[in-house]
Amino acid sequence: MAGLLGKKIGMTRIFDQDGNTIPVTVLEVGPCFVTQIKTVEKDGYEAVQIGFDEKKPKNLNKSIAGHLNKAGVKPLRRLKEFQNFTNTELKVGDEIKADLFKPGELVKVTGTSKGRGFAGVVKRHHFRGGPVSHGQSDRLRAPGSLGQSSYPSRVYKGLRMAGQMGNKKNSVLNLRIVKVDPDQNLLFVKGAIPGARNSYVEIYQS
């Protein structure tokens, strides 16, 4: 599955030919550089490693710096492998831009959701809470009983409770590309994707 690395710029809206408004997420996709091509003979599987987002050379450790110097590319911040890449003519050092994708194409976008910190069950799991009346003045946003004494006499694993909310890797499938700006390496994808502004995302061809 071919894909590229990018950044989430933010959300806006564009209008189609009939004047209908379309909510879109703007993604800065590329330019990405091929830093390594893995083969079955040498590595045991086929994959294309791609780098994105230039950074200062002093901020690279020696192993990554040597790896990128060998590939003949600039110091890059993010590296990611994509298996089953459709373009088999790629070489180390090649540049891939946003024109890899076409308008109307469906893509999968993966990003890290915003971290919300420690949250209760009402915010985290959409519990309705307990009644305000009948003497329950302090149980409005409480989760209720976790496990009964007679059966099961324990708390089930995976029970929904308060805890860390967000800051997890999530994917949204079948997002339609509305517009492609190859000059500025921008993709306009219909709908919302996880993550804050300027967070890194992975865009896969469906």
Same domain membership, residue 111 and residue 187 = yes
- Name the residue range of residue 149's domain: 120-165
pLDDT over threshold 80, residue 87: no
What total number of domains does the chain contain? 2
H or E segment at 28? strand 21-29
Same domain membership, residue 146 and residue 127 = yes
Same domain membership, residue 176 and residue 160 = no
Same domain membership, residue 87 and residue 61 = yes
Q: What span, in angstroms and rounded, lies between the C-alpha atoms of 110 and 52?
A: 15
pLDDT in tens, 137-181: 888 899 988 888 888 889 999 999 999 999 999 999 999 999 999
pTM of the predicted model, to two decimals? 0.83
pLDDT in tens, 111-140: 999 999 999 999 999 999 888 888 878 888
Average of per-residue pLDDT across 77-104: 84
180 contacts: CB under 8 Å, gap ≥ 6? 98, 99, 101, 102, 103, 186, 187, 188
Same domain membership, residue 25 and residue 43 = yes
Residues in the chain: 206
Same domain membership, residue 132 and residue 74 = no
Same domain membership, residue 184 and residue 103 = yes
Instruction: Please check whether residue 22 is in contact with residue 15, taking contact to mean a CB–CB distance below 8 angstroms.
Output: yes
Same domain membership, residue 180 and residue 105 = yes
Rounded to 10 degrees, the C-alpha dihedral 120/132/151/121 comes to -10
Q: Judging by beta carbons within 10 Å of its beta carbon (0-12, 13-18, 19+), is residue 97 exposed, middle or buried?
A: middle
Same domain membership, residue 112 and residue 125 = no
Same domain membership, residue 153 and residue 53 = no
